[in-house]
Each structure stands twice: as C-alpha cells, then as structure tokens.
C-alpha cells in the first residue's frame, strides 16, 4: 500500500497569472480586495476585463447595525472606490441579504451562470470553501452549483471551457498551492 503524501508547505516559487476576461465572486463588498486585490490590480494593469459579482447586499449579517440600507450604501461606495483604485470598472450586486446566502445558493448559482454566459471568463476567482464565514462557504457552494451542469456536457461547458478557477482566502488561511508576487 502506497500512502499518498500531502505536502502542506507553501509554495516557494511565485507564479504569474494572466487572463483576458476575469469573473470575481465576492460574498460581500471588500472580500475581493482583501482576498485577491493585488492580483486584480496586476490583471487590470495587463488589460484584463474584470467583473466582480457581489453575492449579497452587504447590509450586515449578524452584526448590530442601526440602518442596514445606509450601511450597505456606505460599503458599496467604499467598494467602488477600491475597485476604481485597482482598475476594475464592472460590478454587480445581487439582492440576497447579507447572512442569507446559504439559503439562496440556487439564486446565486443562477446569477453566476448568467454572468458566465455574458462574460465568457477565462479566469474565475472565488473564495475558498474553507472560509469561516457562512456566506463565504455558501459563495463557493453557489459556484459549485453553477458549474455542476458542465459535467453533463451542456452549453455551459462551451462558455466556461478552459476557464481556470482559482480560490482565494479572506478570513481563514488555507493551504496555498499558488503564490503570486504582487
């Protein structure tokens, strides 16, 4: 019996990521900057078209928030400034309430499928399923649900085809297999 060895050591060499059309799935406003903002800035500098799909309204899940709509509006304004700084011009927000993504995976998956059809990304960035936050784990579940039909040879397969999928971390360190020098 050969045992498979699992190498949990971080990579020691950096990789270069290139893409022309990028889709970023962010559970909340700011996750894209905290998770993969440096990579997005590099891709934008290289001329990539980048679209961020925010999967919730970022109005505050379990946090104690006085006026949720005002809070969400402030966070969106902050996110827009961050995206402008990075060089990302396209973004969309789903109307799923912050903290409720786990109960709206089908809705998010349908939106992900729609955006994939619209953009034909060659790179998809999503939060890792190992994240601590429930909305973050549900974001990955939504991507999985959106892409599962590919296994049956559907039209989604033609749209996504050779797209690379990379996972990023926001609030829980993972075991990285890729290191990008930003």
Helix axes 134-147, 105-119, angle to 10 degrees: 60
Identify whether the C-beta of residue 116 lies closer than 8 Å to the C-beta of residue 23.
yes
CA distances from 179 to 29, 36, 40 (A): 24, 12, 14
Range with the poorest average pLDDT among 2-16, 17-31, 119-133: 2-16
Alpha-carbon 91 to chain mean position: 12
Identify whether the C-beta of residue 116 lies closer than 8 Å to the C-beta of residue 156.
yes
- Comparing C-alpha atoms, which of 163, 91, 169, 161 is closest to residue 137? 169
Model confidence over 65-106: pLDDT tens digits? 778 889 899 999 999 999 999 999 899 999 999 999 999 999
Which residues fall within 8 angstroms of residue 97, CB to CB, at 6 or more apart?
Answer: 56, 57, 59, 61
Separation CA 94–CA 105 (nearest Å) = 12
Identify whether the C-beta of residue 48 lies closer than 8 Å to the C-beta of residue 19.
yes
Burial of 65 (0-12, 13-18, 19+ CB in 10 A): middle
With tokens 């997005």, the residue in question is 40
Model confidence over 104-157: pLDDT tens digits? 999 999 999 999 999 999 999 999 999 999 999 999 999 999 998 866 555 555
More confident residue, 54 or 177: 54
From first CA to last CA, the distance across the chain in angstroms is 42
Q: What is the pTM of this model?
A: 0.89
């Amino acid at each position: 019996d050969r045992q498979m060895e699992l190498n949990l050591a971080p990579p020691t060499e950096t990789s270069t990521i290139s893409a022309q059309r990028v889709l970023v799935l962010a559970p909340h406003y700011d996750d894209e900057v905290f998770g993969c903002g440096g990579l997005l800035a590099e891709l934008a500098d290289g001329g990539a078209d980048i679209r961020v799909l925010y999967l919730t309204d970022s109005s505050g899940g379990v946090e104690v928030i006085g006026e949720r709509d005002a809070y969400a509006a402030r966070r969106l304004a902050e996110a827009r400034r961050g995206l402008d700084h990075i060089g990302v011009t396209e973004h969309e927000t789903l109307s799923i309430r912050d903290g409720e993504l786990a109960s709206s995976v089908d809705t998010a998956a349908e939106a992900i499928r729609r955006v994939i059809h619209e953009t034909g990304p060659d790179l998809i960035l999503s939060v890792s399923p190992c994240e601590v936050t429930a909305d973050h784990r549900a974001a990955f579940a939504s991507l999985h649900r959106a892409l599962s039909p590919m296994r049956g040879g559907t039209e989604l397969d033609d749209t996504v085809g050779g797209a690379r999928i990379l996972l990023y971390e926001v609030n829980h360190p993972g075991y990285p297999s890729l290191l990008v020098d930003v």
